[in-house]
């Protein structure tokens, strides 16, 4: 049914092409990417080809919007075990290629004071880059975490949203009636956060088995919702409320199984994605003064779960055949998150962005890997040359509690209104369980060719 429904929608828009000029706005992109891993222990990643199609009806009280992505994902382990071409919100592990996914697909109705949207939506709440603490309505796709920008990591959710506006005030309400989980890469794939666990079996012919999670029941009780009160002016500010499932990953330990199967070693790591409801109250604000653009946000989360240090999960120091029950590895605590950011326009084509954010785990036991205070500093320098024909970005992030570092540099050359080519390099350093160190075998150079219309 998924494939038939998907094909029907695509055919409708294909048939409507002759009327696009009068009724539709259509744009798209083709993105070819090749990766050169710089670490000898890195998992192979093949070239990727991503297609993107956006369709919007021309402005009117009734509007339709579609954002469809698809293509070949070179980070997926071959041969592919998941043969469903259409990515849907029913599983955590969706390693499939080729693939199709509706990032957004909704209809809307708007007047001077009311806007209503229904369908698959992505939301942008909060002010910070990369990790906005009030942006909780959309789960993320972690299959290429930290390489993808924030917008590309978000998974669209079936939802109903409304906005009431009057003068400089507005009120947003969002209801997500069914639970949509975050997505994780398989443990054998390049962007898995558990590379240090897989490394224990490097010298053995191992077949890693992955158990998907039991999702919460698909009923109204599994839904999520949010409210946002906004005011624009010299200072733009928002008050945000959220109640629903935490979109950030947490893993539940069960039992490790190591067994001989057909001349190989079959390993069931004994970790499954887990899901817990939480509530959050947050505020954010932003204003501009001269060449500076300043922003800040904070959120108090009630009932968030954290994983304990991996060394306490109960994995054997020397792997051997057998069944090993693992220790409880989740801890519940309230947390406070806050951050500030600033954009400074050095000159017309040069923008410096700086950001600092911190998480405070209010009831932190010694069993957690995270410290009571966890800090991330971000900085990005974006520059343009030759009338924006050459675009450069230098980006760095630092986690002082664990000494983790990420650094990235990329250059784009705009060939024409339709074509551009780019090259980027990224590196990670830090302890195995740190935010950046868990990807330290993923240092890479990538080359991109993009055609847009």
Could you report the per-residue pLDDT of 114-138, keeping only the tens digit for each?
Answer: 999 999 999 999 999 989 999 999 9
- Which pLDDT belongs to residue 1? 46
Query: Phi, psi at residue 194, to the nearest 5°?
Result: -115, 35
CATH code where residue 378 lies: 2.40.160
Where residue 8 falls among pLDDT bands split at 50, 70, 90? very low
Q: How many domains does the chain have?
A: 1
Where residue 24 falls among pLDDT bands split at 50, 70, 90? confident
Whether 303 is covered by a domain: the verdict is yes
Where residue 197 falls among pLDDT bands split at 50, 70, 90? low
171 class by beta-carbon count within 10 Å (0-12 exposed, 13-18 middle, 19+ buried):
middle
Whether 15 is covered by a domain: the verdict is no
Residues paired with residue 340 on neighbouring β-strands, in sequence order: 296, 356
H/E stretch holding 259 reads strand 255-261
Whether 194 is covered by a domain: the verdict is yes
Q: Is the peptide bond before 304 cis (omega within 30 degrees of 0)?
A: no
Q: Which domain holds residue 331?
A: 24-452
The mean pLDDT of the chain is 90
Of 122, 218, 121, 123, whose CA–CA distance to 179 is shortest?
218
Least confident of 71-80, 297-306, 382-391, 409-418: 71-80
Whether 184 is covered by a domain: the verdict is yes
317 class by beta-carbon count within 10 Å (0-12 exposed, 13-18 middle, 19+ buried):
exposed
Whether 6 is covered by a domain: the verdict is no
Whether 66 is covered by a domain: the verdict is yes
Q: What CA–CA distance (Å, rounded) separates 248 from 363?
A: 18
Q: What CA–CA distance (Å, rounded) separates 359 from 90?
A: 30
Whether 65 is covered by a domain: the verdict is yes
> pTM score, two decimals?
0.90
Whether 330 is covered by a domain: the verdict is yes
Q: What CA–CA distance (Å, rounded) separates 19 from 15?
A: 9
């Amino acid at each position: 049914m998924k494939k038939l429904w998907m094909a029907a929608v695509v055919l409708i828009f294909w048939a409507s092409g002759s009327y696009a000029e009068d009724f539709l706005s259509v744009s798209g992109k083709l993105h070819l990417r090749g990766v050169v891993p710089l670490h000898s222990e890195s998992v192979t990643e093949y070239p990727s080809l991503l297609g993107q199609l956006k369709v919007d009806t021309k402005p009117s009280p009734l509007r339709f919007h579609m954002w469809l992505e698809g293509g070949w994902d070179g980070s997926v382990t071959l041969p592919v075990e998941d043969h469903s071409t259409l990515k849907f919100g029913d599983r955590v592990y969706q390693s499939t290629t080729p693939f199709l996914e509706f990032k957004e697909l909704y209809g809307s109705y708007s007047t001077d004071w009311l806007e209503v949207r229904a369908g698959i939506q992505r939301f942008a709440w909060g002010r910070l880059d990369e990790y906005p603490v009030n942006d909780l309505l959309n789960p993320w796709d972690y299959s290429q975490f930290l390489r993808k920008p924030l917008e590309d990591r978000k998974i669209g959710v079936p939802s109903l949203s409304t906005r009431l506006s009057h003068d400089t005030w507005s009120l947003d309400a969002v209801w997500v009636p069914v639970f949509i989980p975050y997505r994780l890469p398989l443990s054998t794939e390049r962007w898995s956060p558990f590379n240090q666990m897989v490394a224990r079996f490097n010298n053995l012919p191992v077949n890693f088995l992955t158990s998907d999670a039991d999702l919460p029941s698909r009923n109204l009780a599994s839904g999520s919702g949010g409210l946002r009160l906004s005011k624009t002016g010299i200072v733009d500010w928002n008050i945000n409320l959220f109640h629903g499932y935490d979109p950030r990953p947490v893993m539940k330990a069960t039992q490790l199984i190591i067994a001989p199967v057909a001349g190989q070693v079959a390993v069931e790591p004994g970790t499954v994605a887990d899901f817990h409801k939480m509530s959050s109250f947050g505020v954010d604000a932003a204003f501009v003064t001269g060449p500076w653009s300043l922003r800040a946000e904070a959120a108090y989360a009630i009932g968030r779960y954290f994983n304990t240090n991996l060394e306490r999960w109960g994995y054997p120091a020397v792997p051997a055949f057998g069944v090993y029950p693992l220790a409880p590895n989740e801890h519940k605590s309230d947390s406070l998150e806050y951050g500030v950011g600033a954009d400074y326009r050095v000159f017309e084509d040069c923008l410096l962005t700086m950001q600092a954010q911190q998480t405070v785990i209010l009831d932190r036991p010694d069993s957690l890997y995270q410290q009571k205070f966890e800090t991330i500093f971000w900085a990005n320098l974006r520059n343009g040359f030759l009338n924006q024909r050459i675009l450069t970005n230098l980006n760095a992030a630092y986690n002082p509690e664990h000494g983790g570092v990420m650094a990235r540099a990329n250059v784009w050359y705009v060939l024409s209104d339709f074509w551009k080519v780019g090259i980027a390099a990224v590196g990670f350093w830090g302890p195995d369980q740190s935010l950046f160190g868990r990807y330290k075998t993923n240092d890479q150079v990538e080359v991109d060719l993009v055609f847009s219309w």
